[in-house]
A and B are shown apart, each in its own frame.
Chain A
Amino acid sequence: MSDAAESITRVHRAEWARVVAALTRRFGDLDIAEEAAAEAFAAAVERWPAEGVPPNPGGWLTTTASRKAIDRIRRENKRDDKHKEARMVYDDDPPEPVGAIDDDRLRLIFTCCHPALAPEARVALTLRLVAGLTVPEIARAFLVQEPAMGQRITRAKAKIKAARIPYRVPSAEDLPARVSGVLAVLYLVFNEGYLATGPGTDPVRPGLTAEAIRLARLIRALLPDDGEAAGLLALMLLTEARRTARVSAGGELVTLAEQDRGSWDAALIAEGHRLVRERLAAAAAGTPPGRYQILAAINAVHTSVRDARDTDWSQILALYDQLVRLDRSPIVALNRAVAVAELDGPEVALAAVDRLQDRLAGYHAFHAIRADLLRRLGDGHRSRAAYDKAIELAGNTAEVAYLTRRRDQLG
Chain B
Amino acid sequence: MQYLVSVIDDKSDPGSTDRQPAISAFNDRLIAEGYWVFAGGLADTDTATVVDNRGEEAVFSDGPFVESKEYLAGVWVWEAPDLDVALRLAAEASEVCDRKIEVRPFR
* Residues in chain A within 8 A of chain B (CB atoms): 89, 114-116, 162-166, 170-171, 174
Main secondary structure of the interface of B (DSSP, over half): mixed
A166 touches B88 (CB 8 A): no
Could you say which of B8-16, B36-44, B58-66, B76-84 contacts chain A? Answer: B76-84
The 5 closest A-B pairs by CB, nearest first: A166-B82, A89-B82, A164-B82, A163-B105, A163-B83
Give every chain A residue within 8 A of B87 (Cβ-Cβ).
115-116
Give every chain A residue within 8 A of B105 (Cβ-Cβ).
162-164
Count A/B pairs, Cβ under 8 Å.
28
B1 part of interface (Cβ distance < 8 Å): yes
A89 touches B81 (CB 8 A): yes
B84 touches A166 (CB 8 A): yes
- In-complex Cβ contact of B1 among A114, A164, A174 (8 A): A164
Query: Taking the nearest CB of chain B, how far is it from the CB of A173, in angstroms?
Result: 8
B69 part of interface (Cβ distance < 8 Å): no
Query: Taking the nearest CB of chain A, how far is it from the CB of B15, in angstroms?
Result: 23
Question: Would you list 28 pairs from A and B whose C-beta atoms are within 8 A, ordered by A residue?
Answer: A89-B81, A89-B82, A114-B83, A115-B87, A116-B83, A116-B87, A162-B105, A162-B107, A163-B83, A163-B103, A163-B104, A163-B105, A164-B1, A164-B81, A164-B82, A164-B83, A164-B105, A165-B82, A165-B83, A165-B84, A166-B81, A166-B82, A166-B83, A166-B84, A170-B84, A171-B84, A174-B84, A174-B88
Give every chain B residue within 8 A of A163 (Cβ-Cβ).
83, 103-105
Give every chain A residue within 8 A of B104 (Cβ-Cβ).
163
A114→B82 CA distance, assembly (Å): 13
- A89-B82, A163-B104, A166-B81 are known; give 16 further A-B pairs, CB within 8 A: A89-B81, A115-B87, A116-B83, A162-B105, A163-B103, A164-B1, A164-B81, A164-B82, A164-B83, A164-B105, A165-B83, A165-B84, A166-B82, A166-B83, A166-B84, A171-B84
Nearest-CB residue, chain B, relative to A167:
B82
Query: Taking the nearest CB of chain A, how far is it from the CB of B102, in angstroms?
Result: 11
Query: Taking the nearest CB of chain A, how far is it from the CB of B93, in angstroms?
Result: 16
Give every chain A residue within 8 A of B82 (Cβ-Cβ).
89, 164-166
Query: Taking the nearest CB of chain B, how far is it from the CB of A351, in angstroms?
Result: 34
A61→B106 CA distance, assembly (Å): 37
Nearest-CB residue, chain A, relative to B84:
A166
Give every chain B residue within 8 A of A116 (Cβ-Cβ).
83, 87
A133→B11 CA distance, assembly (Å): 45
Query: Digit string of B1-26 for contact with A (CB within 8 Å is 1, else 0)?
Result: 10000000000000000000000000
Query: Digit string of B68-105 for contact with A (CB within 8 Å is 1, else 0)?
Result: 00000000000001111001100000000000000111
A166→B105 CA distance, assembly (Å): 13
Nearest-CB residue, chain B, relative to A165:
B83
Nearest-CB residue, chain B, relative to A88:
B82
Query: Taking the nearest CB of chain A, how far is it from the CB of B29, in angstroms?
Result: 17
Give every chain B residue within 8 A of A89 (Cβ-Cβ).
81-82
Give every chain A residue within 8 A of B1 (Cβ-Cβ).
164
A165→B81 CA distance, assembly (Å): 10
A133→B73 CA distance, assembly (Å): 44
Interface centre among A89, A163, A174 (most CB of B within 10 A): A163
Give every chain B residue within 8 A of A171 (Cβ-Cβ).
84
Query: Taking the nearest CB of chain B, how far is it from the CB of A33, in angstroms?
Result: 18
Query: Taking the nearest CB of chain B, how far is it from the CB of A307, in angstroms?
Result: 51
A165→B104 CA distance, assembly (Å): 12
Query: Taking the nearest CB of chain B, how far is it from the CB of A108, in angstroms?
Result: 15
A115→B87 CA distance, assembly (Å): 10
A116→B82 CA distance, assembly (Å): 12
A170→B1 CA distance, assembly (Å): 19
A165→B84 CA distance, assembly (Å): 7
Give every chain A residue within 8 A of B107 (Cβ-Cβ).
162
Nearest-CB residue, chain B, relative to A160:
B83
Query: Taking the nearest CB of chain A, how far is it from the CB of B7, in angstroms?
Result: 18
A115→B83 CA distance, assembly (Å): 11
A115→B82 CA distance, assembly (Å): 14
Give every chain B residue within 8 A of A166 (Cβ-Cβ).
81-84
Query: Taking the nearest CB of chain A, how far is it from the CB of B101, in angstroms?
Result: 13
A280→B103 CA distance, assembly (Å): 42
